[in-house]
Amino acid sequence: MSWTYQKIGHMFRNVSSVSRSTPVAAPRRPQAPSTAALPRRLYRSSVGKKAVMAVTGGILVLFLVGHMLGNLKVFLGRADFDHYAHWLRTIGEPALPHRVFLTIMEAVLTVAVILHMWSAVSLARRARQARPVRYAVRPKAQEHRYATHVMRYGGIIILLFVIWHLLDLTFGVVNPKSGGAEPYDKVVADFDPSRWYITVFYVIAVVMVGLHLKHGLWSAFQTLGWGRQRRYRGLHLFADVVAALLVIGFVAVPVMVTIGVVK
Amino acid sequence: MKLTLKIWRQRNAADKGRMASYELDDVSPDMSFLEMLDVLNERLIIEGDDPVAFDHDCREGICGMCSLVIDGTAHGPQRATTTCQLHMRHFKDGDVITIEPWRASAFPVIKDLVVDRSAFDRIIQAGGYVSAPTGSAPEAASIPIPQADAHDAFDAATCIGCGACVAACPNASAMLFTAAKITHLGLMPQGQPERYGRVTAMVDQMDAEGFGGCTNTGECTSVCPKGIPLETISRLNADLLKATAKG
Ligand code: HEM
Ligand code: SF4
Ligand code: FES
């Protein structure tokens, strides 16, 4: 295909009452096929960054589903729950050394979180620069989707929560029990009725995750190119159901400990 | 009807600009919004003031020249309607109406309510065309196109390039506009040879112009006077990711 014709450039707008002060730049030639490595090509465009966010977000969602199912083992009793926690460290043995699988998982999740946030921050900065002067009348949201409007600030709350959560139940730094205590004991001590405010904090954070996913899951399909008018209802329903199930599943454990059902 | 208009006044691109207030006493509900502004401007001219500059051309909803963010909504309160087709019967006696230009760094204000939308022209120039030599029109049925594709392509082709999508987007993203053209040409057999080069070039240009990225809020579609659907954006995403994977 020859590119000569594109020099013509298609002006499609009438220039009326006011003459334009900015000259129209010479038409750009479409890029020669880029030889840059795939990650760099992806990261060059706003759309590529969004795709990175969708894929890493998807990895995190899969993790959350597994994590939630694991948490629910608390209801099967101390032995089941602690056994499950130990099993996580022995996956793949004897082919894999002790804790190798878990370490790989942790590394993947860490990289996913970093890439996800990196894209989010970079796109948020681009958006801020794209509208330097704000509207005097706050634009009315035509689409009344609360979840959509709390993605960025909600994301920051989720991040703070994740840090607290790791210090709490993974490392035991802010847990009444030490890091080396049995998982079941740590959970029960953490959400003791006297520490109801910790439970409230967890519930708020998990609801934020739910809101994040209500928009995020649907958005990820749209970002990866599967969004079509005829699928939107189904995709929204899917996102809402997954988000709701995750919220219920995650909230169940701390709440049940605090009201004394799990001791 | 009596109205109070709060209008953004800005002498030129360098001016800082400010909101100015005007009272209009005798507005007919049958006037279009732009006719209402014409009446104001006639008065300003008689009083020796500078008339309010605003963009317009066809005044029948097809050219894409008119703009205006009216009370926080691009093209005003009526859905799927350009400002020029909006009528004063949608307002009440005594209303205070705030009128602002499109706000985006890629659309700098030229004067008052007029912004420079040539960034859109450059996005189109980057790839929004098919490089077909235009001889005489070919035999109509010589290139079969599935009915559904023809419909979707036609829907996308109705974009008039007004820029309301950018104005309404919380990220000032130009995705709906760009995606409308990608969808229009990408669904047509004639658009296939340049399909992947086109999407890369147009998205590059869109980013270079300083528009924000899309976060799928859907604000664009709901203000779009032509109802360009959100799925065009997903089609663009699919094409861009394929193009990126191909290198
Ligand atoms: C449990 C952890 C998290 C999960 C499971 C998750 C999941 C997701 C998913 C699936 C998306 C959709 C991607 C797309 O729109 O294509 C998304 C978007 C996003 N995430 Fe997260 N995320 C998490 C943590 C965070 C954190 C810590 C931040 C903080 C910076 C954040 C900020 C964002 C932003 C700004 C978006 C884009 C919003 C939009 O499209 O409007 N996320 N997330
Ligand atoms: S997509 Fe709609 S709102 Fe955006 S420029 Fe085209 S017609 Fe205007
Ligand atoms: S003036 Fe032509 S579309 Fe409004």
- pLDDT digits 0-9 by tens, B197-213: 999 999 999 999 999 99
In a domain, A24, yes or no: no
CA distance A5 to A214: 46
Q: Among residues of chain B, what percentage have pLDDT more than 70?
A: 100
CA of B53, closest CA in chain A: separation in Å? 8
Q: How far is CA B21 from the centre of its chain?
A: 26
In a domain, A7, yes or no: no
pLDDT digits (tens, 9 = 90+) for B17-57: 999 999 999 999 999 999 999 999 999 999 999 999 999 99
Query: Token pair for residue A199?
Result: 């439970």
Residues 6+ apart with CB under 8 A from A149: A141, B170, B217
Summarize the confidence of residues A156-179 as an average pLDDT.
Answer: 92
Cα A149 to ligand 2 centre (Å): 22
Distance B158 CA to ligand 3 centre (A): 13
Reported as a pLDDT band with limits 50, 70 and 90, residue A142 is low
Mean pLDDT within A234-253? 98
By Cβ distance, the residue of B57, B161, B222 closest to A142 is B222
Angle, vertex CA A208, rays to CA A205 and CA A213, nearest 5: 130
Domain boundaries, chain B: 3-110, 117-133+144-246
A5: confidence class by pLDDT, cuts 50, 70, 90: very low
What distance in Å separates the CA atoms of residue B74 and residue B54, rounded to the nearest whole number?
Answer: 14
- Domain presence at residue A223: yes
Q: State whether ipTM is beyond 0.90.
A: yes
Q: Which of A65, A219, A235, A247 to mutate to test the pocket of ligand 1 (most atoms within 8 A of CB)?
A: A219
- Low-confidence winner among A44-58, A142-156, A233-247, B122-136 (lowest mean pLDDT): A142-156
Number of folded domains that form chain A? 1
Helix H or strand E encompassing B149: helix B147-157
Q: Which residues of B touch A3 (CB under 8 A)?
A: 131
Residue B50: name the closest of B113, B115, B116 by CA. Answer: B113
Number of Cβ pairs closer than 8 Å across A and B?
A: 241
In the prediction, which pLDDT does B159 show?
A: 98
B117-133+144-246 fold: Fumarate Reductase Iron-sulfur Protein; Chain B, domain 2 (1.10.1060)
- Is B225's C-beta closer than 6 angstroms to any atom of ligand 2? yes
Picking from A30, A139, A149, the nearest residue to B168 by CB comes out as A139
- Cβ contact B118–A24 (<8 Å): yes
Which among A163, A143, A153, A254 is positioned nearest to A212, based on CA atoms?
A153
Residue A159 belongs to a domain: yes
Nearest residue to A28 (alpha-carbon basis) of B122, B215, B43: B122
* Structure confidence by residue, pLDDT tens digits, A50-84: 999 999 999 999 999 999 999 999 999 999 999 99
Beta bridge partners of B173: B212
- Name the residue among B55, B198, B219 with its Cβ closest to that of A30: B198
Give, for ligand 3, the residue of B35, B59, B226 to mutate: max count of ligand atoms closer than 8 Å to Cβ.
B59
State mean pLDDT over A235-258: 97
CA angle B36, B37, B40 (to 5 degrees): 95
Q: What is the CATH number of the domain that holds A198?
A: 1.20.1300.10
Starting from the CA of residue A46, give the closest ligand. Answer: 1
Q: Which atom of ligand 3 is the closest one to the Cα of B162?
A: 3
Host domain of residue A71? 46-132+139-258
Integer Cα distance of B225 and B73 in angstroms? 12
pLDDT of A35 reads: 63
Picking from B216, B232, B132, the residue whose alpha carbon sits closest to that of residue B182 is: B232
Query: Nearest-CA neighbor of A150 among A241, A220, A213, A64?
Result: A213
CATH annotation of B3-110: 3.10.20.30
| Averaged pLDDT for residues A102-114 | 96
**Confidence at residue A28, expressed as pLDDT on a 0 to 100 scale:** 47
pLDDT in tens, B80-90: 999 999 999 99
Confidence of residue A39 (pLDDT cuts 50, 70, 90): confident
